[in-house]
Chains A and B, each alone.
Chain A
């Protein structure tokens, strides 16, 4: 049984780390971009960003003034039990979000869409989002917080099988061109593409592809992995860099996730995880031990399964 107090204290630590510490995989990607960038202005921007990450860590202040919209992904091993149950867990995550908003401090970004009511704590109707995933074994709970920024860089479109890969490329480029100009997407970014699923899940897949996979990871389907490489290169060949200035670094990495969709369609979403790619992860074990990391490791074979039953152990034995 995982103590609820450990859930809340860990969640508060994660809120702090996500807002302040740029994940190492993104940092490596941006350092590589800064090394190769030869546009005068975009090169200056990347250097300033690298200094900014250092300043944030030194001062323990948020890396960006727009601290995004904090949200949670909870992954549980099948045997995990939380003190007080899942209602207690949700309350702890809401408390941690509110406390950290005042504590770090974060910007109280969350408002009512119509009345613009701001509780000054990033908590409200449906906020923070809490999504769940499960794994076949384990007594642990993974808490993942993502503070995704940006009103720009995201789009959805219903494509059809006849649009093909060329249609996918075109919508991908359209999204980069539309939101890359003037740097509205706060690129270079981790671009997530969702393909398939129903409309809402298509958006979810793209969002998770950008936020829950690290730079350098590749889809387990080798043909999709090839597309990821190709799309990264395509995005970087536009000639647009940071802030929409002339440059060659627009995409730090491109991650594609798929889900089965209606036979007549090929829905597609594009998401951009920005220069402040804020995510933090911790695994809490049944005995209360906590291990911190920055890789959500969300897309396991189990998450991408396509069979009716899940019996990998037996299959391996045969």
Chain B
């Protein structure tokens, strides 16, 4: 059975988001901006003014650094585009979503169902995962134009805020819904049933590590 395919605006209506089901394949049209630790720190910790009208221009935050260059004449060349793992940004996302009205968080690997329930659902937002990873060339084809690159001087090319005009950019997979359910956790639970069988016959290492015991007064032998 092939997944359902949906084309979605980067400024989606509440109804369009409510329609999405875990595992749906989504293609995005409209403006999407990249923001990761550099942008979050600058906007939230250093309180710099965000150089876009959010969410009016875009409600889609891409955890991404593109393989791209800024030419000497100021134009841009966009090659491949893929996401970076999102779990590291949980620290900033609640405040970011409250401030910018982001409805689509697009990245790699998703967040936990706890994150979804705590601040995605109350903000009416869902998580879209890139596919692969990563389908960088396919996603690159979906970028019609680079509209702007903000904070390049302050943050460098990889951390700058790239504003991408997307035309049926994809594929992405719906990894959370408005119940706060998590696609990856659903899959983990199915796989977990088999884990004991795969490990059968193996034994724990002779020398333990902290982490296997979180009591630092323990020895590891």
Contacts and interface: CB of A to CB of B under 8 A. Distances in A.
B141 to A, nearest CB: 6
Given A44-B25, A173-B198, A105 B134 contact: no
Contacts of A19: 67
Contact of B139 (A49, A65, A177): A65
Contacts of A152: 85
A238 B198 contact: yes
Contact of B194 (A163, A238, A244): A238
Contact of A66 (B77, B134, B188, B194): B134
A246 interface: yes
A292 interface: no
Contacts of B156: 108, 111, 116, 118, 120
Nearest to A106: B67
A181 B188 contact: yes
B148 interface: no
Contacts of B136: 52, 56, 61-66, 276
Interface residues of B, number: 58
B206 A107 contact: no
Central interface residue in B109, B110, B187, B204, by most chain A CB within 10 Å? B187
Interface stretch (A5-13, A154-162, A216-224, A302-310): A154-162
A99 to B, nearest CB: 12
Contact of B195 (A62, A238, A275): A238
Nearest to B171: A48
A257 B77 CA distance: 41
A237 interface: yes
Interface of B: 1-3, 23, 25, 64-69, 77, 79-85, 108-110, 129, 131-141, 156-159, 171, 173, 184, 187-188, 190-191, 193-195, 198-199, 201-207, 209
